[in-house]
A and B are shown apart, each in its own frame.
Chain A
Amino acid sequence: MKITKAEVDAVALLARLELTPEETETFTGQMDAILAYVEKLNELDTSGIIPTSHAVPVENAFRADAVRPSIGVENALANAPDRVEGFFRVPKVIE
């Protein structure tokens, strides 16, 4: 086994996902098969190979630090599931 149910539950917490016991079961089997498949990358010697994070050479793209119009508070809050005054409202953070 490449991955256990307990590890899947730990990853779900990191990923901020709540899984049902059935989902944990299914994902454990499927992730195990996929992780076994990706093992094939270890057939390749990659020592000394520079990793590619980007397909084209990209350097910092700077633009002028100029004041421009923004969408404004009302637009920013328009899609909020819960809001109060000029803020997003969320459940209690600190017990």
Chain B
Amino acid sequence: MELFDLTIHELHERLKKKELSSVEATRAMLARIEAVDPQVNAYITVTPEEALAAAEAADRRIAAGDIAPLTGIPIGLKDIFVTKGIRTTCASRILGNFVPPYDGTAVAKLKEAGAVIVGKLNQDEFAMGSSGESSAFGATKNPWNLECIPGGSSSGSAAAIAARTATATLGTDTGGSIRQPASHCGCVGLRPTYGRVSRYGVIAYASSLDQVGPLTRDVTDCALMLGAVAGHDPMDSTSIDTPVPDYTKALTGDVKGLKLGLPKEYYIEGLDPDVKRALDEAIETYRGLGAEFVDISLPHTDYAVATYYLIATAEASSNLARYEGVRFGHRAEGAANLIDMFRKTRAEGFGAEVKRRIMLGTYALSSGYYDAYYLKAQKVRTLIMQDFLKAFEKVDAILTPVAPTPAFRIGEKTSDPLQMYLSDIFTIPVNLAGTCGISVPAGMSGSGLPIGLQLIGRPFGEETILRAAHAFEQATAWHQRKAQL
């Protein structure tokens, strides 16, 4: 085992016993990034100087007997998190050389815990995408097969875990952007309940759906990361004031009598055979551990993608109005007047997928179409939420696939946006319902690509899904497999 292979909790034990310094762990990670990231392209910006300074500070803190679970641990951030003094791009040309004047709350909490930020990770531009291909900084590759996509939009956050170029990472999940890449890259990814983690300092895509969450090597690390970033924040009025438990205490290994729902709408004809086999085996594993299965129905599942692409694009068209070339970022040259400057700046600055979503959202909100599209979608969203509330009267968590297929090939779906959108069918409902979901490694395809399973919990039911995910992980060895680079 190399230092860059270790989990947070393994590094923590060595740091605590002073067998290892954070500077050594950080140097090993920076060397690993230099060695393999040119193949993977998980990073947009690597920050070696800042990382080594943070590692030295962590070592001083540890020497003084003050160590938290994340102290001295090398962590990567999706480039959607604003970072004081470090260029933040959201993988878009329109942000130019934007250097934020402040840290967002999740980043500030990681720094207070003594974490070492090693760099900013690649993603789909403005978190709009399911493959990592729509980045102004080039596509991220899947470390398991460099010809395949790593998933998106938190493409770099998942690929860096699989490539062992970060011990843990933070991503964001608006329609599956943590769980789907976690599944495709063989790591653990958690989307917390809406309101669980502050979004202050997270560049907004669709504000009623966006949520921050961790991607990690195992479930214990996931619990540690969530505990570090969760909690109410006066700077985010949508964050909810409910106590943050010690999530590691939920990891008891015991799922006896836990009721898991199997929604018939997720076990459809046309599900990839490798994905179906992984799910069938996972169900057997859980049965062996004493969990009980209940057949349930989430009848409006088939409407989720259409609902999502109206609500998310409408909110995006509003959120992205701020990029106009006046206060920060790129500005087009040679404009005749102010409106012309806005239009040219946005034409030059945004990529095709972002333009497409702004266009769709603007259309859905425009006069004469608002009721037919946006309001209709908000009503269907209510029906989708009610599906989950009814299901949770009967079960403790819901077990589903994460994605209908393993990772597809780079370029396979770029010409057909609708096909790309449909690859999010099993993750989007969680965002619309505002609840939590986790992806855990659960198998490998015939061609050697990872497959994840999804556990969906009640709102603020993170402890239950972490417990169930951890029990599965302890009973299987999928999380120990490593991509060969």
Contact = CB atoms under 8 A, between A and B. Distances in A.
Contacts of A92: 337-338
B101 A75 contact: yes
Interface in B376-414: 376-383, 385
B101 A78 contact: yes
B316 to A, nearest CB: 11
Contact of B234 (A27, A44, A63): A63
B309 A79 contact: no
Contact of A46 (B344, B346, B379): B379
A55 B459 CA distance: 10
A67 interface: no
Nearest to B325: A81
Nearest to A44: B380
Contacts of B435: 55
B341 A91 contact: yes
B299 to A, nearest CB: 10
Contacts of A11: 359, 362-363, 366
B307 A41 contact: yes
Contact of A51 (B337, B350, B373, B379): B379
Interface residues of B, number: 74
A38 B377 CA distance: 9
B45 interface: no
A55 B435 CA distance: 8
Contacts of A34: 309, 360, 417-418, 421
Nearest to A27: B359
Contacts of A17: 343, 346-347, 350, 355, 358-359
A72 to B, nearest CB: 9
Given A31-B360, A78-B101, A90-B341, A51 B382 contact: yes
A69 B434 CA distance: 33
A79 B98 contact: yes
B193, B381, B433: residue with the most chain A Cβ atoms closer than 10 Å: B381
Contacts of A80: 326-328
B379 A58 contact: no
Nearest to B194: A55
B207 to A, nearest CB: 9
Interface string B188-199: 000001110000
A56 B240 contact: yes
Interface string B300-343: 10110111011000000100010011111111000111111111
B102 interface: yes
Contacts, number: 167
Nearest to A89: B326
Given A40-B306, A46-B380, A23 B328 contact: no
A35 B363 CA distance: 10
Contact of A33 (B208, B373, B418, B433): B418
Interface string A1-33: 001000110011111111100010001001101
A15 B359 contact: yes
Contacts of B307: 41
A82 B331 contact: yes
Contacts of B194: 55-56
A84 interface: no
Nearest to B421: A34
Interface string A51-90: 1111110100101000000010001101111100000101
A42 B193 CA distance: 29
6 contacts: A15-B358, A15-B359, A55-B385, A56-B195, A80-B326, A91-B335
Interface of A: 3, 7-8, 11-19, 23, 27, 30-31, 33-35, 37-38, 40-44, 46, 49-56, 58, 61, 63, 71, 75-76, 78-82, 88, 90-93, 95
